[in-house]
Amino acid sequence: MKDQPIFKNHHIQRVAVFYGYFLSLGNNLQSLFLLWMRLTWGHQFVLTGMKKLSDINATIQYFTTLNLHFPTFEAYFAGYLELIGGVLMMIGFCSRPVGLLLSLLMIMALSSPAHVSVFHEFKAFFEPALLVKEAPYPFLIASLLLFIFGPGRVSIDAWIKRWADNQPKY
pLDDT at residue 132 in the model: 83
Predicted structure pTM score: 0.83
pLDDT of residue 153: 93
| Spatial contact of 82 and 46, defined as CB atoms under 8 Å apart | yes
Q: What is the model's pLDDT at position 38?
A: 97
Task: Note whether 89 and 45 are within 8 A (CB).
Answer: yes
pLDDT at 119: 75
User: pLDDT 10s per residue in the chain (170 long)?
Assistant: 456 767 777 888 888 888 889 898 888 899 999 999 999 999 999 999 999 999 999 999 999 998 888 999 999 999 999 999 999 999 999 999 999 999 999 999 988 888 877 777 677 777 788 778 888 999 999 999 999 999 999 999 999 999 999 988 88
Pair 84, 42: CB distance under 8 Å:
no
Q: Which of 83, 115, 116 is nearest to 101 (CA)?
A: 83
pLDDT for position 2: 59
Inter-residue contact 140 to 106 (CB < 8 Å):
yes
Give me the half-sphere count of Cα atoms (radius 13 Å) on the Cβ side of residue 147.
Answer: 15
Cβ-proximal residues to 38 (8 Å cutoff; 6+ apart), any chain:
89, 90, 92, 95, 146, 151, 152, 155
